[in-house]
Amino acid sequence: MRSGRPILCAALFALAACKGGSEPAGGGGAQAKGGTLRIGAALSMTGAAATYGQSQKNGLQAATEEVNGANSLQGIKIDLVVEDDATSKEQGINVFQRFINTDKVNVIIGPTLSTTATAADPLAQQAKVPVLAISNTSPTGITDIGDYIWRDSLTEAQVVPGAIKKAKGKIGFKNAAVLYGNDDVFTKAGYDVMKKALADENVNVVETQTFAKPDRDYSAQLTAIKAKNPEILVVSALADNASGIVAQARQLGYAGPILGGNGFNSPGFIKNAGPAAEGVLVGTSWNSASTAPANARFKELMQKRGVNPDQFTAQAYSGILVVAEAVRKAGYKTGRDDIKNAFAQVKDLDTPLGKFSFTPSRDAQHEPAVQQVKNGKFEIVEQ
Amino acid sequence: MPGFLLAYQSLLAFIGLNGLLALSVYCTLCCGQLSLANAGFMAIGAYTGALLTQNAHAPFPLALLAGALLPALVAVPLGLPVLRLRGVFLAIATIGFGEVVRLSFVNWSYTNGALGLVAIPRKTDLWMIWVALAAVMFGLARLRGSRAGYALEAIREDEAAARTMGIPSTQYKVAMFVLGAAIAGLAGVLEAHLTYMVSPGGYGFSRAVDMLVYAVVGGDTIFYGPVAGAAFLTVLPEALRGAGRALGLAPGPLRLFLNGAILLAVILFLPNGIVSLPRTLRALRLRRASRAALG
Amino acid sequence: MWQQAINGVFLGAIYALFAVGYALVFGVLDILNLAHQAVFAVSAFIALAFVAEGHVPLAVALPVVLVAAGLVGIGLERVAFRPLRGRSDSNISGLISSLAAATILEAVALQIWGPDVQRFPIGTFPDKPLRMLGATVSALQLTIIGISVVLMAGLTTLLRATRLGRQIRAVAESPRAARILGIDVDRVIAWSFFLSSALGGAAGVLFGVAFNSVSPDMGRSVELKGLAVIILGGMGSIAGAVIAGFALGLVEVFTVVQLGSSWRDAVSFGVLFFVLLVRPSGLLGRAAIREA
């Protein structure tokens, strides 16, 4: 049927055009106005880090809505895909592979834990997909994987020394005991930072004990610590262990101050430790008391969603803002290399975390703070 | 298109690996020994291979060889005393061994303790796994019908009787124990270079149980039984994932439930494994037919 | 020092309670019941459900859960162990069957309650520290030690002084002889499972409350420790399990202090190996261990 052929051609052409438009631009190609920025978020929705993952999801979703709603990317819409890495390295690797090969994302956000990141990030580096970590705080083993790995979360090395210094100024202690998890990249790295910071402040460490993530009974370690009468207990742990440690420490009769690492920065910690959490000091990346407009807007948005934001929410929210800014700096291009190259151009961006930039080594740079649990809530400790 | 192939490639790779692991357990099962040590041997092989390729930049074949050899060497001094224990005690001793291996790696700073090794170069290809599997199956098939094969069967039936007949049962048992260790170690190296990482947590008690389940469900009286069991139990949760999600079942619990339920059904009703299903059905049919014939 | 001893006794009480259940079933049936740890975990979840959602006080929930756990044990026996009784390799197939049952129970728990750690609501147990001999003990720890001791003493008394107890011991000695003597072996075995699982369930609830942590895999590590306990104590010996349980708890706690937490589990398995290779019958066991 000769008359059918032009129709057939037109149909095929239309089909091809439709198909071409559904995938976001991969590789380094140019992107027309409008289009999709596909962000793959690998978060721990189940497992030991689930409490952080939930906060992060809230932050990411709020920021995505905000950016899409304000149409601040000249027609480019963010397509946020959230997958569960189950706080497991294997799952993290699986999710990354799916993001890279099946979903063909432009940029990956996450994973939640540094431990998962050390296993999964190398895949992204090899596949040349940019990764923006929003909660990996281990000083080594993250951004040093390669030039596609970036982070907006301050490392323990950037937060803990300040926290210890401030605590020493406020309380004044000459010796300390340390308890840390030896089976997690973050808690182990946190310990290294704490050890050095204490030494720098001329604090004598009278006892060091370890535990593992699955442990539930810390009485042996805490008893040994208490016997040495430390003036402060410094703990590097994830939220699940943190609440158990603090509760058991109080139960065993240790009444002195406790200072925790980034793992404590979750309302889940306060909820599970109950009254034992009172007075615990934590260094934090998010100054919740800041009155800067970006922070006020963030808090307002989260309140409207009925969510009580924590540091992880703030870092996740800021992560989307950073990616959006990178797209802008790249000339509204969403290619993987476009974003990766544009990250370095993000300077003094207004985020809930403060004015944000990347360091030359792709780490985060902004002012940290110290907070303390007062009446069941985190309160910023003023200068 | 590539994503689709990737998904199936991964499944086929894991069927092959699980088949190898199931065969490593079969080695000891076929002479009547219930050993749960192979997760430990797998760990030794995996770490050895990974350390060689990462730190010594050794060629992959060398890593494979070392990964199979080292567990075998460990199996000898372990097997000699432990294989003298009967049934349950052997099982417990091998569980203990597995835990000791896992804990040793957790406490060894050279291997990053509980964090394990990451960013292991991907050197395993699908064909390697299946060639290894075919080779092992071939070897075990040759065993059947040979003098050694009969000896193993005799030991399985009644070790005391076999010994009075002059079969050196200890030597045979240790030999199969060592062979199982080598196969598990080889599988370990292959897996490590497929999944980019090794960590002590992946070689614990539940791993050892999984391997045993594959072998028992498949059928531990014939060399292709364990592979059938591994294939069946690896594919089933994937195949039912869609149906499971429709019913509101999470994939993790679903896989676990299927493993448990099928294992229970097999041990109660089909003790020789699913490969004996055709035979059992035929026997049932014959019995029914003869009963009908007799009126 | 005393504090660590109390920590050790506390941990040991839970280990002992758990291991006693193992020992009972092994003594009677010559089977290692690896589903014991699943009953342990599921019982903790059921107690949690009672307390957190049913708002039932713990003191009421505990006996209820004990009975429920016992009933699960009876069900376990009927489904997974009784059909295997005639078989020649029944202790191996029984072990595998119990593994299957454990996996099923764990999968159900995972599906219903999810993999995350759950906690008892604050105030489930009044938090009162007491000072004794220069050590701080919480009322919770004392209560748990007390309950464990009472339950274990109860079992021992039952075995020694009641008719059922005598029947259990007869069946443990020789099921065939017991049947000839007119003992209803099936009923006795069912009772053994009831008692064993009730104790395992109690251990689970106490553990969950003690460390305020309930998760589907909480039985795993205790299961392996439990194996070390019964090997040390002697398979099939209740008294052995009790002694070894407390001993292991103490050894573990002092290991953590002297060598570090990473070595805690290694010591248990070191003990297990040593006993198996040197004196497999353990401290008080009588079971035949070697082949020939």
Q: Look up the domain containing A229 and give its range.
A: 157-284
Candidate from C31, C101, C269 with C-beta closest to B96: C269
Distance from CA of A254 to the nearest CA of B (A): 29
In chain C, the N- to C-terminal Cα span, in Å, equals: 46
Minimal Cβ distance to C111: which of B81, B85, B253: B253
> Quick one: A271 and A207 in the same domain?
yes
Picking from A228, A249, A284, the residue at the C-terminal end of a domain is: A284
Q: Is the pLDDT of residue A25 over 80?
A: no
Write out chain A residues lying below 8 Å of B256, CB-based.
Answer: none
**Residue of chain A nearest C138, judged by CA positions:** A251
Q: What's the pLDDT at A14? A: 38
Whether A182 and B195 lie within 8 Å, measured CB to CB: no
Give a yes or no: residue A5 inside a domain: no
Among B residues 205-264, those touching chain A with beta carbons less than 8 Å apart:
none
Taking residues A306-335, report their average pLDDT.
92
A65-83 residue pLDDT tens:
999 999 888 889 999 999 9
Q: Which two tokens stand for residue B120?
A: 């292991």
Q: Is the pLDDT of residue B114 over 80?
A: no
Q: How confident is the model at residue A20 (pLDDT cuts 50, 70, 90)?
A: very low
Burial class (CB in 10 A: 0-12, 13-18, 19+), B138: exposed
Q: Greater confidence, A47 or C46?
A: C46
Q: In terms of DSSP bridges, do strands A281-284 and A369-374 run parallel, antiparallel, or are they unpaired?
A: antiparallel
Report if residue A358 sits inside a domain.
Answer: yes
Instruction: Enter the tokens of residue C195.
Output: 């008692």
The answer to whether B96 contacts C272, with C-beta atoms less than 8 Å apart, is yes
Query: Does A191 score more than 90 pLDDT?
Result: yes
pLDDT at site B5: 59
Cβ contact (<8 Å) for B34 and C266? no
Strands A204-211 and A233-236, sheet pairing: unpaired
Query: A89–B199: do the CB atoms touch at under 8 Å?
Result: yes
Among A240, A256, A284, the domain-final residue is A284
Helix or strand holding residue A131 (H, E): strand A131-133
- Using CA atoms, how far apart are residues A58 and A66, in angstroms rounded to an integer? 12
* CB within 8 Å: B96 and C266: no
Q: What is the pLDDT of residue A181?
A: 92
Q: How near does any CA of chain A get to the CA of B37, in Å? A: 23
Of A46, A223, A227, the CB nearest to C115: A46
B neighbours by CB contacts (3+ pairs under 8 Å): A, C
Residue B18 has which token pair?
Answer: 């699980």
The answer to whether B199 faces chain A, any CB pair under 8 Å, is yes
Q: What is the mean pLDDT of each run of 10 residues along chain C (292 residues)?
A: 85 92 88 92 93 86 93 94 80 86 91 82 74 76 89 90 91 87 90 94 91 85 88 86 92 84 80 84 63 32
- Kindly tell me if the per-residue pLDDT of A187 is higher than 80: yes
Is A287 within 8 Å of A367 (Cβ atoms)? Answer: yes
Query: Of B40, B81, A380, nearest to B48 (Cα)?
Result: B40
User: Does C50 reach chain A within 8 Å, measured CB to CB?
Assistant: no
Q: What is the dihedral of CA C257, C258, C264, C269, to 10 degrees?
A: -150
What CATH number has the domain bearing residue A348? 3.40.50.2300
Mutation target among C211, C217, C265 for the A interface, most CBs of A within 10 A: C211
Domain ranges of chain C: 2-119+126-278
- Same domain for A58 and A145, yes or no, is yes
State whether A269 and A296 are in the same domain.
no
DSSP state of A381: P
Select from A50, A209, A220 the Cβ nearest to the Cβ of C7: A220
Number of domains into which chain A is organized? 2
Q: Which residues of A touch B119 (CB under 8 A)?
A: 118-119, 122, 145
Instruction: For chain A, give the mean pLDDT.
Output: 86
- pLDDT value at B134 more than 80: yes
Least CB–CB distance from C103: residue in B97, B259, B268: B259
Smallest Cβ distance to B264: which of C97, C280, C289? C97
Crossing angle of helices C163-173 and C185-210, in 10° steps, is 100
Q: Which of A183, A207, A217 to mutate to test the interface with C (most CBs of C within 10 A)?
A: A217
Q: What is the ipTM of this complex?
A: 0.85
Q: Is residue B169 less than 8 Å (CB to CB) from chain A?
A: no
The CA-based dihedral angle spanning residues B281, B284, B288, B290, taken in that order and rounded to the nearest 10 degrees: 110
Contacts of A119 in chain B (CB under 8 A): 118-119, 196-197
Tokens representing residue B179 in the block: 């062979």
Residue (of A133, A134, A37, A147) closest to A81 by Cα position: A37
Tell me the percentage of chain A whose pLDDT exceeds 70: 91
Chain C residues touching residue B100 (CB < 8 angstroms): 266, 269-270, 273
Question: Do B115 and A184 lie within an 8 Å CB cutoff?
Answer: yes
Provide the domain count of chain B: 1
Residues C58 and C206: beta-carbon distance below 8 Å: no
Name the percent of chain B in helix, strand, coil, to the closest 5. Answer: 80, 0, 20
pLDDT of residue A319: 95
Which residues of chain A neighbour B46 with C-beta distances below 8 Å? none
Residues of chain A with Cβ-Cβ distance to C131 below 8 Å are 253
Instruction: Check which CATH number belongs to the domain holding B27 and give it.
Output: 1.10.3470
Closest to C253 (Cβ–Cβ): which among A212, A215, A220? Answer: A220
Looking at the partner chain, which of A102, A123, A183 has a beta carbon nearest the beta carbon of B3? A102
The pLDDT-based confidence of A22 (bands split at 50, 70, 90) is very low
pTM: 0.81
Section A300-319 average pLDDT: 92
Any A CB within 8 A of B115 CB:
yes
> Per-residue confidence at A9, pLDDT binned at 50, 70, 90?
very low
Whether residue B24 has pLDDT greater than 60: yes
Q: What is the mean pLDDT of residues B97-117?
A: 86
Query: Per the CB < 8 Å rule, is A93 touching B195?
Result: yes
Q: Which of residues 118 through 177 in chain C touch B, CB cutoff 8 A?
A: none
Of A132-136, B16-20, B198-202, where does mean pLDDT reach its minimum? B198-202
pLDDT at C142: 86
Looking at chain B, which runs of residues are DSSP E strands? none
Amino acid at A320: I
A371 in a structural domain = no
Domain range for B198 is 2-294
Is residue A11 situated within a structural domain?
no
Q: Which residue has the higher pLDDT, A32 or B240?
A: B240
- At A4 the pLDDT is 42
Identify from A19, A23, A101, A145 which residue to disrupt to test chain B contact, counting B C-beta atoms within 10 A and taking the largest count: A101
Q: Which residue of B has its CA nearest to C264?
A: B103
Distance CA B244, CA A228 (A): 54
CATH match for C2-119+126-278 among 1.10.3470, 2.60.40, 3.40.50, 1.10.3720: 1.10.3470
Split at pLDDT 50, 70, 90, the class of A383 is low
Give me the helices (H) in chain A, please.
Answer: 4-22, 50-70, 89-97, 114-127, 156-171, 185-200, 219-227, 239-251, 267-273, 293-304, 311-329, 336-343
